[in-house]
Amino acid sequence: MSCDILLLPGIPQDLATRLHAIGLNNSDKLLTAVSTPATRAELAHRLQVSPGDLLALGRTAELIRIHGIGSLYADILAFVGIRSISGLATCDPEQLQRTLKAVAPDGVVFRTPGPREVRRWVEEAQSMGSILQE
């Protein structure tokens, strides 16, 4: 699943605007553009940002590829310290679901993901792997 670059958690508005201007208007396009150290460095130079910042955004874009996560849950996952596919893949699903319920209970967010949904996220992260070369 892809999201508009303007909705990508953690992206400064001015950077999102500059990415839009060069045709990188969604998370999938950004992920492709930052997938290797060389392409990340080139884009970082062009945009006058650090390659590390682009890597962090790429990790978020990867999380959004998992069915059901989207920009809201990617933001909540980052809040609890999960900022990458590999980080999600190593989580205990039950513990993660309890943590999410504690920090984002129903009503604060549309709904807290249930245990089966979180388990599916973790399993998908384990099978998907990262396309980002670090």
Distance (Å, rounded) from C-alpha 47 to C-alpha 86? Answer: 27
Whole-Å CA distances, 79 to 34, 75, 117: 23, 6, 19
Mean pLDDT score of the chain, rounded to an integer?
A: 94
Q: Which residues of 58-74 are buried (b: 16+ CB within 10 A; e: fewer)?
A: bbbbbbbbbeebbbebb
- Backbone Cα Rg of the chain: 15
**What's the pLDDT score for residue 129?**
86
pLDDT > 80? residue 72:
yes
pLDDT > 80? residue 109:
no
pLDDT > 70? residue 78:
yes
User: pTM here?
Assistant: 0.91
pLDDT > 80? residue 60:
yes
